[in-house]
Chain A
Amino acid sequence: MTEKLDSIIDDYLHNEGNLVSILQKLQDEFNYIPQEAVQYVSRSLEIPVSKFYGIATFYAQFHLKPRGKNIFTLCCGTACHVKGSEKLIARLQQETGLTTSDNTTSDGLITIEKVACVGACSIAPVAIVNKKVHGKANINHLLRMVKSMKEGTNE
Chain B
Amino acid sequence: MSRQISISVCMGTGGLAAGAQEVMDKLSTELAGVGIEAQLHSKKQCDLHRVGCRGFCARDVLVDVSIDGVKTTYEQVTLDRVHRIVNEHIIDGQPVEDFAAGEDYHNFEGKQVKVVLSECGLIDPEDIEAYLKVGGYEAARKVLTSLSPGDTIDTIKRSGLRGRGGAGFPTGLKWEFGANEQADQKYIICNADEGDPGAFMDRSVVEGNPHVVIEGMIIAAYAIGASKGYVYIRAEYPLAVQRLELALKQARQKGFLGDNIFDNGVKFDIKVKLGAGAFICGEETALIASIEGKRGMPRSKPPFPAQKGLFGKPTVINNVETLANVTYIIRRGAEWFASLGTEKSKGTKVFALTGKIKNSGLIEVPMGIPLRDVIYGIGGGIEKDRRFKAVQTGGPSGGCIPESLLDTHLDYESLAKVGSIMGSGGMVVMDEDDCMVNIAKYFLEFTQAESCGKCTPCRVGTKRLLEILTRITEGKGKANDLELLENLSVDVIDSSLCGLGQTAPNPILSTLRYFRDEYVAHITEKRCPAGVCKALLTYTINEATCTGCTMCARVCPVKAITGEKKKTHYIDQSLCIKCNSCYDVCKFNAVDKR
A residues at B contact (CB < 8 Å): 17-21, 23-24, 54-55, 58-62, 76-79, 81-83, 87, 90-91, 94-95, 115-124, 126, 133-135, 139
> A122 contacts B446, CB within 8 Å?
no
B235 contacts partner chain A, Cβ-Cβ < 8 Å: yes
Q: In chain B, what residue has the closest Cβ to A131?
A: B238
Question: Which B16-37 residues have a C-beta within 8 angstroms of A?
Answer: 16-18
Chain B interface size, as a band, is: 35 or more
Q: Given A20-B276, A120-B14, A121-B200, do A94 and B428 touch, yes or no (CB 8 Å)?
A: no
The smallest C-beta distance from A95 to any residue of chain B, in angstroms, reads: 7
Please report the number of residue pairs spanning A and B whose Cβ atoms sit closer than 8 angstroms: 145
> B277 contacts A116, CB within 8 Å?
yes
Q: Given A117-B199, A121-B199, A123-B57, do A59 and B276 touch, yes or no (CB 8 Å)?
A: yes
In this complex, which of A18, A21, A116 has the most chain B Cβ atoms within 10 angstroms of its Cβ? A116
- B579: chain A residues at CB < 8 Å are 87, 90-91, 94
> B278 contacts A58, CB within 8 Å?
yes
Given contacts A61-B235, A119-B199, 15 further A-B contacts (CB under 8 A): A55-B295, A58-B296, A60-B277, A78-B426, A78-B442, A79-B354, A82-B355, A91-B579, A116-B195, A119-B237, A120-B57, A121-B198, A121-B428, A122-B352, A133-B16
* Assembly CA distance A124 to B14 (angstroms): 10
The smallest C-beta distance from B454 to any residue of chain A, in angstroms, reads: 11
The smallest C-beta distance from A77 to any residue of chain B, in angstroms, reads: 4
The smallest C-beta distance from A68 to any residue of chain B, in angstroms, reads: 19
- B195: chain A residues at CB < 8 Å are 116-117
B292 contacts partner chain A, Cβ-Cβ < 8 Å: yes
The smallest C-beta distance from A108 to any residue of chain B, in angstroms, reads: 23
Q: Which one of B136-144, B152-160, B356-364, B517-525 is at the interface?
A: B356-364
> B557 contacts A95, CB within 8 Å?
yes
> B276 contacts A78, CB within 8 Å?
no
B279 contacts partner chain A, Cβ-Cβ < 8 Å: yes
* Assembly CA distance A154 to B548 (angstroms): 34
The smallest C-beta distance from B537 to any residue of chain A, in angstroms, reads: 12
- B434: chain A residues at CB < 8 Å are 82
> A24 contacts B274, CB within 8 Å?
yes
Question: Which B201-216 residues have a C-beta within 8 angstroms of A?
Answer: 203
> B290 contacts A77, CB within 8 Å?
no
> A119 contacts B203, CB within 8 Å?
yes
In this complex, which of A87, A91, A117, A124 has the most chain B Cβ atoms within 10 angstroms of its Cβ? A117
The smallest C-beta distance from B121 to any residue of chain A, in angstroms, reads: 14
In this complex, which of A76, A83, A118 has the most chain B Cβ atoms within 10 angstroms of its Cβ? A118
Question: Which B236-274 residues have a C-beta within 8 angstroms of A?
Answer: 236-237, 274
B231 contacts partner chain A, Cβ-Cβ < 8 Å: no
- B290: chain A residues at CB < 8 Å are 20
> B428 contacts A78, CB within 8 Å?
yes
The smallest C-beta distance from A55 to any residue of chain B, in angstroms, reads: 6
Q: In chain B, what residue has the closest Cβ to A82?
A: B355
In this complex, which of A61, A91, A120 has the most chain B Cβ atoms within 10 angstroms of its Cβ? A120
> A119 contacts B296, CB within 8 Å?
no
> B354 contacts A19, CB within 8 Å?
no
Q: In chain A, what residue has the closest Cβ to B431?
A: A82
From B13, B14, B198, B278, A60 is in contact (CB under 8 Å) with B278
The smallest C-beta distance from B293 to any residue of chain A, in angstroms, reads: 2
> B294 contacts A78, CB within 8 Å?
no
| Pairs across A and B, CB under 8 Å, 10 listed | A59-B278, A59-B296, A62-B276, A77-B198, A116-B236, A117-B236, A118-B13, A120-B13, A122-B58, A135-B17
> B278 contacts A91, CB within 8 Å?
no
The smallest C-beta distance from A67 to any residue of chain B, in angstroms, reads: 15
B568 contacts partner chain A, Cβ-Cβ < 8 Å: no
Question: Which B24-67 residues have a C-beta within 8 angstroms of A?
Answer: 57-58, 60
The smallest C-beta distance from A103 to any residue of chain B, in angstroms, reads: 15
* Assembly CA distance A55 to B292 (angstroms): 12
> B198 contacts A123, CB within 8 Å?
no
B506 contacts partner chain A, Cβ-Cβ < 8 Å: no
* Assembly CA distance A76 to B290 (angstroms): 23
* Assembly CA distance A82 to B18 (angstroms): 21
* Assembly CA distance A31 to B132 (angstroms): 39
* Assembly CA distance A122 to B278 (angstroms): 22
* Assembly CA distance A23 to B362 (angstroms): 34
B197 contacts partner chain A, Cβ-Cβ < 8 Å: yes
- B392: chain A residues at CB < 8 Å are 78
- B225: chain A residues at CB < 8 Å are none
Q: In chain B, what residue has the closest Cβ to A19?
A: B293
> B293 contacts A122, CB within 8 Å?
no
Q: Given A117-B197, A118-B236, A119-B236, do A78 and B395 touch, yes or no (CB 8 Å)?
A: yes
* Assembly CA distance A94 to B443 (angstroms): 24
The smallest C-beta distance from A34 to any residue of chain B, in angstroms, reads: 17
Q: Given A116-B195, A117-B236, A120-B14, do A59 and B277 touch, yes or no (CB 8 Å)?
A: yes
